[in-house]
């Protein structure tokens, strides 16, 4: 997103502690721009959900300020924040019909009956649930209930829609289908979506930007492609996507370029991220899809001396659209390479086969 634009939401030095000692969120500065789909991504306990709850008004910051446009939200009650909320548990009223559930937000806002009925129909049409308007939630599938919860969040045309792991209770296939629907709906409506998840693929699939949380802080916030290709530190590199990690010693440093010596004598070259010094123990990370296997039957072919990993096959895993060739390297954790199904020879790879793995320098990141 272009940061020249004015943000619709601003967190300014926001902190949160439940016991006065431990910081769940610490000194958070975050701008959310109008119309974007921003995901807050991180493991359990990283602070992402607490940030969402403070924005929604269900938690209060210990310090700092949260702004929605020109309105300071710190003391604004949830129902006056002009924010729609979708929960993982759906939170539908079991004794109310679908239409009554969706209308609830308008009822508490004292919207006139005729206007309310039209708004409910529009919201149900958005999520393709109009034909279920008179049903009770218990007669709906999980995906249908989630659509109703989404319609309820959209019915009063909020400035902001917050979603707390809304697809977590769905099975994999339905979850992936709903990801596409949510992204399409976001594009159609042009509203600002803030989405909490611990699922990295979900965040990368749907978002314009992703904020990666760890230990109560944002470790990196960026476009999804930049976040994946150029992680800002080892925490982000390890949490977003798969990585092969090689531990070694920093042999040389020239600007952002560094060379790493491995215990087996191999040398890897790539971009140094962060403040490092020659002699430091470092972690060199490369994505599995960026590593190249030789053609089947050419495992011991000559290779360049830098950015080559000489290892042995530790088995293969079949994933339907690709095969993962696992490899073992002395003194390192096992890694794997993603191989397209077209290279059928590796589908039947044998444990112990020698491998020569290569990759371009631009794909290696070196962290402390």
Convert the pLDDT of each residue in 237-276 to its tens digit: 989 989 999 999 999 999 999 999 999 889 999 999 989 9
- Long-range CB contacts for residues 115-123, cutoff 8 Å, separation at least 24: 119/155, 119/156, 119/157, 120/151, 120/155, 122/155, 123/151, 123/152, 123/154, 123/155
Cα of first residue to Cα of last residue in the chain, in angstroms, is: 29
Within 8 A by CB and 6+ apart from 112, the residues are none
Which one, of 217, 355, 332, lies nearest residue 283 by Cα?
332
Which one, of 183, 102, 96, 104, lies nearest residue 138 by Cα?
96
pLDDT the model gives residue 51: 97
Which one, of 138, 73, 79, lies nearest residue 105 by Cα?
79
- Mapped onto helix, strand or coil, the DSSP state of residue 325 is strand
Q: Is 174 exposed, middle or buried (0-12, 13-18, 19+ CB in 10 A)?
A: middle
Largest CA distance in the chain: 78
Nearest 5 degrees, angle CA 339-CA 342-CA 343?
60
Enumerate the H helices of 66-198 as residue ranges. Answer: 98-108, 113-126, 142-154, 172-189
- Mean pLDDT in runs of 10 for the chain (368 residues)? 76 95 94 96 94 96 96 92 88 92 88 89 92 94 90 92 88 87 91 94 94 96 93 91 94 94 93 94 94 62 72 86 88 89 60 85 94
The domains of the chain, with CATH numbers, are 7-235 (3.40.50.300), 242-367 (2.40.50.100)
DSSP symbols for 288-355: GGG-BPPPTT-TT----SBSEEEEEEEEEEE-SSEEEEEEE-TTS--EEEEEETT-GGGGG--TT-EE
pLDDT the model gives residue 345: 56
- Long-range CB contacts for residues 108-111, cutoff 8 Å, separation at least 24: 108/79, 109/79, 109/156, 111/156
Structure tokens at 105: 């937000």
pLDDT the model gives residue 207: 95
Distance in angstroms (rounded) separating the CA atoms of residues 324 and 241? 15
Cα 212 to Cα 205, 222, 233, 264: the distances in Å are 15, 9, 11, 34
To which H or E segment does residue 212 belong?
Answer: strand 209-214
What's phi and psi for 335, nearest 5 deg? -125, -170
Distance from the Cα of residue 283 to its chain's centroid: 23
Distance in angstroms (rounded) separating the CA atoms of residues 113 and 324? 58
- Considering the entire predicted model, what is its pTM? 0.88
Structure tokens at 336: 């794997």
Distance in angstroms (rounded) separating the CA atoms of residues 211 and 227? 9
pLDDT the model gives residue 297: 46
pLDDT the model gives residue 299: 47
Enumerate the H helices of the chain as residue ranges. Answer: 48-56, 98-108, 113-126, 142-154, 172-189, 200-206, 224-229, 234-239
């Amino acid at each position: 997103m272009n940061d020249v634009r004015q943000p619709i939401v601003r967190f300014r030095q926001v902190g949160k502690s439940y016991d006065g000692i431990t910081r769940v969120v610490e000194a958070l500065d975050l701008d959310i721009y109008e119309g974007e789909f921003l995901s807050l991504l991180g493991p359990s306990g990283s602070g992402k959900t607490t940030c969402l709850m403070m924005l929604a008004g269900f938690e209060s910051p210990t310090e700092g300020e949260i702004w929605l446009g020109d309105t300071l939200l710190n003391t604004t009650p949830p129902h006056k924040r002009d924010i729609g909320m979708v929960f993982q548990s759906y939170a539908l009223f079991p004794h109310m019909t679908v239409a009554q559930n969706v209308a609830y937000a308008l009822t508490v806002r004292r919207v006139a009956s005729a206007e309310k009925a039209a708004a409910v129909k529009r919201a149900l049409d958005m999520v393709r649930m109009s034909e279920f308007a008179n049903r009770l939630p218990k007669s709906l599938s999980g995906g249908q209930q989630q659509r109703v919860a989404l319609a309820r969040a959209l019915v009063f045309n909020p400035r902001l829609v917050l979603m707390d792991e809304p697809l977590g209770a769905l099975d994999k296939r339905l979850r992936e289908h709903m990801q596409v629907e949510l992204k399409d709906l976001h594009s159609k409506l042009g509203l600002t979506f803030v989405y909490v998840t611990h699922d990295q693929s979900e965040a990368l699939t749907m978002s314009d930007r992703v904020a990666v949380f760890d230990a109560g802080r944002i470790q990196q916030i960026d476009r999804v492609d930049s976040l994946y290709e150029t992680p800002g530190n080892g925490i982000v590199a390890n949490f977003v996507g798969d990585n092969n990690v090689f531990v070694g010693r920093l042999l040389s440093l020239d600007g952002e370029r560094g060379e790493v010596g491995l215990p087996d004598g191999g040398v890897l070259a790539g971009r140094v991220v962060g403040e490092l010094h020659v002699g430091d123990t470092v972690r060199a990370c490369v994505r599995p899809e960026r590593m190249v296997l030789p053609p089947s039957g050419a495992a011991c072919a000559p290779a360049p001396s830098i950015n080559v990993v000489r290892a042995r096959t530790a088995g293969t895993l079949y994933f339907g659209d690709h095969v993962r060739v696992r490899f073992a390297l002395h003194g390192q954790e096992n890694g794997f390479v993603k191989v397209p199904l077209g290279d059928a020879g590796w589908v039947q790879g044998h444990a112990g086969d020698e491998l020569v793995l290569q990759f371009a320098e631009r794909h290696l990141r070196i962290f402390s």
